[in-house]
Amino acid sequence: MENKAYAFAAGLFLLLLGLALAASVAWFQGDRTERVHYTVVARAGVPGLNLKAPVKLRGVEVGRVDGIGFDAADPRQILVDIAVDVAAPVTPTTYAQLGLQGVTGLSFVALEEAQPDAPLQRAAAGTRLPLRPSLLDHLAQAGPGLVAAFAETATRLNALLSDEHRAQFGATLSGLQAAAQDTSRLMTTLRPSAQQLPTLLRDADAAAQRADAALRRIEAMAAEGEQLAQALRSRTAVLDRLDAAAAQVQATSRHLELALVGDSPPRTQPLVADLSAASRALEQAARELTAQPQSLVWGRTPRPAGPGEPGYTAPNATSASTAGAPR
In terms of average pLDDT, the best of 92-106, 240-254, 262-276, 283-297 is 92-106
Q: State pLDDT tens for residues 257-296.
A: 565 555 444 544 555 566 666 666 666 766 766 666 666 5
Predicted local distance difference test score (pLDDT) of residue 141: 61
Report pLDDT for 20: 85
Rounded Cα distance, 231 and 238, in Å? 11
286 in helix, strand or coil? helix
State the pLDDT at residue 236.
66
Q: pLDDT of 176-217, one tens digit each?
A: 988 888 888 888 888 887 787 788 888 888 888 888 888 888
Give, in order, the Cα–Cα distances in Å from 169 to each of 31, 59, 179, 235. Answer: 68, 49, 15, 89
DSSP string, 145-187: HHHHHHHHHHHHHHHHTSHHHHHHHHHHHHHHHHHHHHHHHHH
Q: Does residue 111 have a pLDDT over 60?
A: yes
Give the span between the Cα atoms of 82 and 109, in whole angstroms: 9
Q: Which residue has the higher pLDDT, 288 or 50?
A: 50
Decide: 37 and 66 in contact? Cβ < 8 Å: yes
Contact of 49 with 80, CB cutoff 8 Å: yes
Helix (H, G, I), strand (E, B) or coil at 189: helix
Confidence of residue 41 (pLDDT cuts 50, 70, 90): very high
* Mean of pLDDT over the chain: 76
Whole-prediction pTM? 0.39
Return d(Cα 83, Cα 55) in angstroms, integer: 8
